[in-house]
Chain A
C-alpha cells in the first residue's frame, strides 16, 4: 500500500480562494518533503523543499507567498495555494524522505482546477 498519502486527489476551487493539499507519510517519519508541480505534457518542476520544523526552501521563480508550505510534524506537510487563479491549475505531487535518506516515496498527486 501507499506509504505517502496525498489528499485531496482532485479539487476544484473558485478563483480567489485558497486550497490546501496535504502530504502524509504513513509509516515513517519524513524529515524532508518535496513539492512538485507538473504542467500538461511537461515534466515535473520542483517547487520547494521542506524540512520538519523549519521554513521551506523555494526554487527560483516560485512565489513563496502564494504557495505556502508548512511542515509542522514529521508525518505531515501541507501546500496551500493562496488566492488561486486559473493559471494555478495543475498537478501537484509531493515526495517524502525518511531519516535514513536512502528511500524516497511519492504521493499519488493532486489535481487542482481553479475556475
Chain B
C-alpha cells in the first residue's frame, strides 16, 4: 500500500521568512515524488519532482525539496516567502501504476 501524508493543512508565514511544507510518504516501491502548486482558479502546476536521481531537487520559483529515504520524507522549502506564493500545495507519490495525492497544504503569506 502507498500513502502520502501532508502534515499541515494550513501554514502561515510572513513575507520574507522561510517556508516549510511537510510531506511524508509510504511506499513498497521505489517512489517518484512530486510537489504541485495550485493558485486560486488555476490548474495544478508542477513545482519539482524526484525520480531517483539527486536527493535535493530544485524547482521553479525558488522552491526545493529533499528526498530523505530514512525519514520517508519529501519536505518542500523556500528560503524567503513571497506574497505570490500563497496557494494550495500538493505532495504526490507516483509509482508505475498509481498516483497518490496528499490532502494539500494551504500556504498563507502575510505582510
Contact = CB atoms under 8 A, between A and B. Distances in A.
B99 A104 contact: no
A95 B34 CA distance: 17
Given A43-B49, A93-B99, A101 B41 contact: yes
B44 interface: yes
Contact of B38 (A43, A104, A111): A104
Nearest to A93: B99
How large, as a class, is the contact surface on chain B? 20 to 34
B82 interface: no
Contacts of A43: 34, 36, 46, 49
Interface string A42-57: 0110100100000000
A58 B20 CA distance: 33
B106 interface: yes
Interface of A: 32, 34, 36, 38, 40-41, 43-44, 46, 49, 59, 91, 93, 95, 97, 101-104, 106, 109, 111
Given A97-B41, A106-B101, 18 more contacts: A32-B41, A34-B43, A36-B43, A38-B94, A38-B99, A40-B96, A41-B94, A43-B49, A44-B36, A44-B46, A44-B92, A46-B45, A93-B99, A95-B44, A101-B41, A103-B104, A104-B38, A111-B97
